[in-house]
Structure 1
Amino acid sequence: MGMFERDTDIYKDRDALREDYQPEELVGRDDELRAYQTALQPVVNGEQPNNIFLYGKTGVGKTAATNYLLSHLKEDVKQYEDIDFDLVFFNCDGLTSSYQIATRLVNELRDDSNQISTTGYPRSSVYEMLWEELDDVGGTILIVLDEIDHVKDDSILYQLPRARANENLTKAKTGIIGISNDFSFRDDLSPKVKSSLCEQEIHFPAYDAGDLQQILTERADVAFYNGVLDDAVIPLCAAYGAKDAGDARQSIDLLMKAGDLARDGDTEIVVEKHVERGRRDLERGRIEEGINGLTQHGHLVLYALLTLDLENETPVRSRDVRPRYTRFVERAGRDPLVPRRMRDHLSELAMLGLISVTERNEGRRGGTYREYNLDMNASLILNALDDILENVGIHESVNQYFNADDEFEEEPALSDFS
């Protein structure tokens, strides 16, 4: 008998719980799919495509709905001989400028032997290459830009929708589908871009617990053998997903983690304890991944806010985080960042979901300002801040998380920190 044997007790098709799985039907998105289908109708009619802007929080079905409808659209247009349809789809994560988007588009449209460098060209030259490639393809071309809010300038979002009107394109009819987790991104666009990019807007609200139960049941029917899931498992995974801003991806990940724990434990049924343990493991992993990607100053800002939170000083303004951050930085042998750069780190922590931020407006006299609060379990954050604790020492507010034998006990308590 070999070292590895196939498991046959829990999963029938585990891949049905993976992010790239495309279900046959989308649950809880009837209104959004109808609006989306209507917005895509000009493609089938051989007309200039609409520019479509989808927004909603992570895990609410924007990308899934796009994949679902576009896969149907690609098949359905084949019956019309006068429609030449192409699709370009990529995620903008890691791309921050219109220049990078344009070079990526050129390379997507060219074969592997004719790629261009991502640097070194004037932007106007890259746009010329893009128009040439699009016209060479010709017909109707939909360009899907997922996580479009990563792009910091909106030049490409102005140029593409107007390329035909500006006579940069003569053969190709292009449409943009922009997908964003951040609706405020739309507000930051220039009016001329907003009017074209957001021609058709579709908002995807958070799923409620009932929607999530339907989604999980549909996936579970494909993924697990009959009778493997205890009756409480799907409602519990759905409840946690509803609590986490209606995020279907988190609910599905949690169901898969619970299944994995049951399989690893060589049990025949997935029960509540697997869900509870799976939630702790996933949360720890998310926190560690987010914190590990930060710079040392990001760690120091987070440690400063954590200690203030444990002293019940939060919510707190950045100017009140600064004294403690500065003392921690000096203890680590570094120079403190200027206040604006320190605030940038607070914004990054909020974007990662480690802390929350609230806008306050006290009118003409007080003006507007932001207050920050810790959003995560303190012990999980401390586990990911080992290096900082070693360099800076253990603040008295976190002593409760360390026993007498802890390796950091010899570090002096930082009780003098204000």
Structure 2
Amino acid sequence: MGMFQRDRQVFADAEPLDDSYEPEDIRERDEELEKYKRALQPIIDNRPTSNIFLYGKTGTGKTVATKFMLSHLENDATEYDDVELSTVWVSCENLSSSYQVAVTLVNELRESKDKDRISTTGYSQQRVFDILYEELDEFGGTVVIVLDEIDNIGHSDDILYGLPRARSNGYVEDVRPVIVGISNDFQFRENLSPKVKDTLAEKEILFPPYDANQLRSILNPRAEKAFHDDVLNDDVVPLCAAFAAQDTGSARQAIRLLREAGELAQADDTETVSEEHVRNAQDELEKNQLYEGMQELTTQGHAVLCALAYHQAIGEVPVRSRDLYQRYVKICERLDADNVSERRVRDHLSDMNMLGLISVYERNEGLSAGRYHEYDLDVPLKAVLEVLLSTNRFEGPAKIIRSTADENNLLQSDISDY
């Protein structure tokens, strides 16, 4: 008998537990989907359409809802001879500027027509925008441009100014671009330049975290498809839902927890998935979520984390926000990146505290110094550096921090001990 054997006890079809799985219907988002439908309806009516921005934390259904709605929109648009509709989807996860987004958009549009891609360098931003307008005009009709994780572009928001004004400025004649922006940062709009806020004139749809009852509703049909009959103990799905609801309210987290519990049961060669498997899976995923939480930070979030890692490496922690901000500004200058205000840096620190990545200490030194906050990493420095080193833009600063930490003997403990 070989080392690997096909599982016939636990999983019937694990696909519904995969991150890429697209369900036939969207549960527990009726109100949000109704708003989405109203926002997209003008496309079918063949009239000008507002831009649409979706806000919510990771795992709250923004992306899956967008794929669901656009799939129906594309299908229904074929029923009308006077409706020309195209969609283009760009993930901004590794894009930090309007220039990079525009180049990626051009290449996505060109690829759909089997045309040569353009280089990611060698053009001015305005030239790339001009090429983008030319490509869009070739499509004609309405082109829905989905910019997923748009908050990664930070202050480099020129594309959000240029695209909505392209038709009124005469840059395009035959096309109506409609932006659908998806952001994990509720504060993203507040940090846009005033001219962009005024130009976007978008409809906003907020996706709040799921509660335990909603997560159970989402998990149940997936569990029925994914596992053999009578494999799951009755308390497994409710416990997965409760753990995820208490932590992030993320459906993605609840689904991963259920899958991990099933894999642990499979490893135990047992015919049932129990509460113990769920609790063990929760312990395992908590460690993984710390890495994922760090990886999913925006460019600005990574810069703040990098600044805190520097202070950790030189042994100056906990560190006051004003000192941390000075280091953050220097890192942004080194990366040739825009820096945000000290207040926004504190917002990023607050988000990282909620993710369990850092600790915050409130100090009160009376009339002499007043009240202030200090910050410290709540995860191993080695883990932080591993994430920063895997992010191309931060590889240089991370190497310097790692060298400094080595000199101070601060990287002796292994991540696996955490």
**TM-score, length-scaled by structure 1:** 0.77
Distance 2:347 2:87 in 1: 35
- Name 1:155's counterpart in structure 2: 158
2:144 is the counterpart of 1:142: yes
2:12 is the counterpart of 1:9: no
1:7 is displaced (CA, Å) by 1.4
- Name 1:49's counterpart in structure 2: 49
- Name 2:131's counterpart in structure 1: 129
Cα separation, partners in 2 of 1:157 and 1:302, compared to 1, 3 Å: same
Distance 2:385 2:331 in 1: 23
Distance 2:168 2:224 in 1: 50
Cα separation, partners in 2 of 1:371 and 1:64, compared to 1, 3 Å: farther
2:84 is the counterpart of 1:84: yes
Cα separation, partners in 2 of 1:210 and 1:163, compared to 1, 3 Å: same
1:317 is displaced (CA, Å) by 2.6
Cα separation, partners in 2 of 1:321 and 1:188, compared to 1, 3 Å: closer
Instruction: Provide the aligned C-alpha RMSD in A.
Output: 3.9
Distance 1:318 1:220 in 2: 45
Cα separation, partners in 2 of 1:381 and 1:125, compared to 1, 3 Å: closer
Task: Give secondary structure in 2 for the equivalent of 1:178.
Answer: strand
1:245 is displaced (CA, Å) by 2.2
1:157 is displaced (CA, Å) by 0.2
- Name 1:199's counterpart in structure 2: 202
2:408 is the counterpart of 1:392: yes
- Name 1:217's counterpart in structure 2: 220
Of 227, 230, 233 in structure 1, the residue corresponding to residue 233 of structure 2 is 230
Structure 1 unaligned segments of length 5 or more: list them. 309-313, 323-336, 403-418
- Deviation digits for residues 89-134 of structure 1 (CA, Å, limit 9, x no counterpart): 1210111111111111111111355110111111111111111100
One-letter amino acid of the structure 1 residue matched with residue 375 of structure 2 = Y
**Which segment is superposed worse, 249-258 or 293-302?**
293-302
Based on CA coordinates, which of the two structures has the bigger radius of gyration?
1
Structure 2 unaligned segments of length 5 or more: list them. 297-301, 333-338, 340-344, 388-401
Kept after mapping to 1: 8 A contact 2:164/2:177? yes
Cα separation, partners in 2 of 1:390 and 1:123, compared to 1, 3 Å: closer
- Aligned residue pairs, count: 374
1:341 is displaced (CA, Å) by 4.2
Distance 1:47 1:155 in 2: 25
Cα separation, partners in 2 of 1:140 and 1:340, compared to 1, 3 Å: closer
- Deviation digits for residues 381-408 of structure 1 (CA, Å, limit 9, x no counterpart): 799899998653479xx9xx99xxxxxx
- Deviation digits for residues 52-84 of structure 1 (CA, Å, limit 9, x no counterpart): 011011111111111111111111111112111
- Name 1:283's counterpart in structure 2: 286
Kept after mapping to 2: 8 A contact 1:304/1:321? no
Distance 1:357 1:342 in 2: 22
Cα separation, partners in 2 of 1:320 and 1:273, compared to 1, 3 Å: farther
- Name 2:299's counterpart in structure 1: none
Distance 1:320 1:154 in 2: 28
Cα separation, partners in 2 of 1:127 and 1:367, compared to 1, 3 Å: farther
- Name 2:398's counterpart in structure 1: none
1:289 is displaced (CA, Å) by 6.0
2:277 is the counterpart of 1:261: no
**Which segment is superposed worse, 133-142 or 234-243?**
234-243
Kept after mapping to 1: 8 A contact 2:244/2:251? yes
One-letter amino acid of the structure 2 residue matched with residue 61 of structure 1 = G
Cα separation, partners in 2 of 1:387 and 1:288, compared to 1, 3 Å: farther
Distance 2:273 2:330 in 1: 47
Cα separation, partners in 2 of 1:341 and 1:233, compared to 1, 3 Å: farther
Kept after mapping to 1: 8 A contact 2:307/2:328? no
Identity in percent: 46
Of 181, 186, 200 in structure 2, the residue corresponding to residue 183 of structure 1 is 186
One-letter amino acid of the structure 1 residue matched with residue 19 of structure 2 = E
Distance 2:294 2:184 in 1: 21
- Name 2:390's counterpart in structure 1: none
One-letter amino acid of the structure 1 residue matched with residue 137 of structure 2 = D
**TM-score, length-scaled by structure 2:** 0.77
Kept after mapping to 2: 8 A contact 1:258/1:278? yes
